[in-house]
Every structure is written in structure tokens, then in C-alpha cells.
Amino acid sequence: MTAISFPRNRTADLLKGVAVILMIQVHLMELFAHQDIHDSIVGKISLFLGGIPAAPVFMLVMGYYVAKSKKTFAQSIIRGLKIILLGFALNIGLNLHLLINIATGIIDVYPLPYIFGVDILFLAGLSIIGLSLLKLIRSYQLLFYSVVLVLIFIIQFVFKNRLDSYSENYLLAFIYGEGTWWSYFPFIPWFAYPLTGFVFYKLEQNLSYFIQKNIIYIFVIYLIVVILFIDYGSKISTDLELYYHHNYVFFIYTTFFLIAWSAMAYYLTGKYSNTILNYIEWFGKNVTAAYVIQWLIIGNIATALYKTQDLMAIILWFVSILGATSGGVWLWTKKDALIRKIKLS
């Protein structure tokens, strides 16, 4: 959860930067690592780190900034639709090698789940649209948002008991995807995280002084709760089916984890400014570009190396892909200047 608001929120950037780095390593563990490594304690740690501190962080921070945004309703809707279209483009891009092999008959699998895979960009786009609609509510806002948060898990319960047997419903998978392997971040229940970040922004003016004065106590108290229930959190976050379609109990645990996680990030950005932190914050500032670039690299290589790499190879791949992604992000941030130079030359 993001903390105090500054002209550029270093805490939010640090959280996002760490999250995308953790996502790189978990994508490698899921797609590159040999199965015995994936199932080992190293694999479990990798899955845990690539779970709670990753996607929920993106969504919480995004919800915070949607609440803070001064964009008009129409601008926000268009932004959400653009991110959804980016999600489709990324699905094709990261699976391009696989789709070519399918088209040429080298690999015999059904292509639509890879084209319509419900990744986090779809959740982001749908969430921006959903939050933009909620911003239209002017009266009893916090009460209304709290009711919506509860309704998310009530709807999940209703869907679970009525839709367990459906299959290959590509449209429904974007809303509720339990039982559908290509639905990684369905709107239900994952909309709960951007909504929580959205609510936090509404509460921030009353909480900022308290947070600044009690940041260490907040970290310790919430960390104790996280440690007490770490077995439960680990069980869910290391089982991808349970993680992608978790219930309200795991949502509460994740919220406690992220409060402690954010408190630590807030403390670090308040006390330190060095090369490593600056790099991670820069990565977080450009998180969408970093996320897209790392998936384009990992997704296409995975077609050739799927679950064949040992632990040392995974480490080397991580260093290489982190470096390549950083280079790609740097080029992306310089694209306007590079285009101008090309036009002038």
C-alpha cells in the first residue's frame, strides 16, 4: 500500500520496482526451471516472492493513483481500454514463437488460451474502468466502496458454487476464471486490490501524520501477524491455482503483508538514497514498459526451453534478462529523443 504523497512518490516507485523484479524471477521459475527445482524449497520461495509482493502491489498502487488522478471520466475509460488492447498485443507478442510453431505444425496445442490469457494488464484495464465508475459516486463514498469490496467476495462465492463446471468461456474468464487455467488475474477477486488502494487514497489525509510518526510500530505489528500465519500464506501463494483464485481470507492476509511491506519501503526511502534504490525506483517508475519487455523476452524463449533449466542456469537467465529488460526500458524512456535525432539526421 502506498504511503505519504510526494511530487514523485518514491515509496510507490520502490514497491513497483521490487515487484517487477520479483515477477521476472518467478516467470523464470514457472517456465524455465526443471520441475524438481520448481517443486523444491527454492522453487517455493521463488513462488512466494513472486506472489504477494508482486501483482497485489501493482494493483494497490494503481488503485491509489487512479483515485489521485485528475483525468476526466472519458479519459480514464479510454486509458483502461488502451491497457486492455495492450494486454492482447502482449499475449500475441510473448507467445509469438509458440504461435508460429502451432501454425507450422511443430507444436500441437490449441492457440486461443494463449491469445486470450487473462494476464494482469487486462485486470489493470478493467480495474481502471471500474474505479472510474466508482469515482462518479459523490455521497457516502467510503461506505459505498466498503460495500463493493464485500460484494466482490460474495460474487466470487456465488460464481464458485454455480460455475465450477464451465469450460472454454473466454469472455467469462476475464471476470471469473476458477477452473480455467488461462485465467490468471480475473476481475473477481483481484479487483479488491486496486479498490483497496483507491480507498487508502481517500483516507490518506487523515492518516498521513499518524503513519509518519508510527511507521516502525506499524511495520512490527503487521509483520508479527504475517509471521504468525506464514504457513497459510505460503500454502496459497505457492499453489498457482489457489493464488490466482484466492478467497477473502487470503486477501486479508495479503493486505497485512503489504502494509508491513509498504512500511518497510517507506522507511527505506525516507532514510536512504543510493544507487541500488535509485535503480529499483527507476524500474518502478517505468513499470509498464519493464513488465511488457520482460514478458516478450521470457515468453518467446520459454517455447524452446520450457522446464529444462537447472538452478545455476536460472540464476544466469535472471541476471541476463534483468539486464536486457533494463536496457529495453532505458531505450523506451529515450525513444522520443532518439526519434528526433533520426529525423534530424
The DSSP string of 39-74 is TSHHHHHHHHHTTTTTHHHHHHHHHHHHHH----HH
The mean of the pLDDT values for the chain is 91
Q: What is the pLDDT of residue 5?
A: 39
Find the mean pLDDT for residues 156-171: 73
Closest CA to 196 of 248, 120, 139, 267: 248
pTM: 0.92
Work out the percent of the chain whose per-residue pLDDT is above 90: 77
d(CA 297, CA 94): 7
Output the nine-digit C-alpha cell for 50: 513472486
Output the nine-digit C-alpha cell for 8: 514523485
Find the mean pLDDT for residues 174-190: 93
Q: What is the pLDDT of residue 324?
A: 98
For residue 152, pLDDT over 80 is answered with: yes
**H helices present in 69-191, as ranges:** 73-94, 96-103, 112-115, 120-134, 141-162, 187-190
For residue 343, pLDDT over 80 is answered with: no
What are the tens digits of pLDDT across the range 80-99? 999 999 999 999 999 999 99
Q: Are 59 and 1 in contact (CB under 8 A)?
A: no
Q: Which has more pLDDT, 341 or 108? A: 108
Which range among 63-67, 140-144, 202-206 has the greatest average pLDDT? 63-67
Work out the percent of the chain whose per-residue pLDDT is above 70: 95
Domain ranges of the chain: 10-344
Find the mean pLDDT for residues 317-343: 89
Q: What is the pLDDT of residue 164?
A: 55
What are the tens digits of pLDDT across the range 211-268? 778 888 889 999 999 999 999 999 999 999 999 999 999 999 999 999 999 999 988 9
For residue 150, pLDDT over 80 is answered with: yes
Q: What is the pLDDT of residue 345?
A: 66
Output the nine-digit C-alpha cell for 110: 490449441
Count helices and strands (H / E) in the chain.
18, 0
Cβ neighbors of 297 (< 8 A, separation 6 or more) are: 321, 324, 325
d(CA 68, CA 58): 15
Output the nine-digit C-alpha cell for 236: 496459497
Q: What is the pLDDT of residue 186?
A: 96
For residue 6, pLDDT over 50 is answered with: no
Report the b/e string of 130-159 with b at 16+ CB within 10 A.
bbbebbeeeeeeeeebeebbeebbebbeeb
* pLDDT grade for 3, boundaries at 50, 70 and 90: very low
For residue 208, pLDDT over 80 is answered with: no
8-state DSSP, 173? G
d(CA 303, CA 327): 23
For residue 201, pLDDT over 70 is answered with: yes
Q: Which has more pLDDT, 206 or 192? A: 192
For residue 313, pLDDT over 90 is answered with: yes
Closest CA to 239 of 33, 41, 44, 57: 44
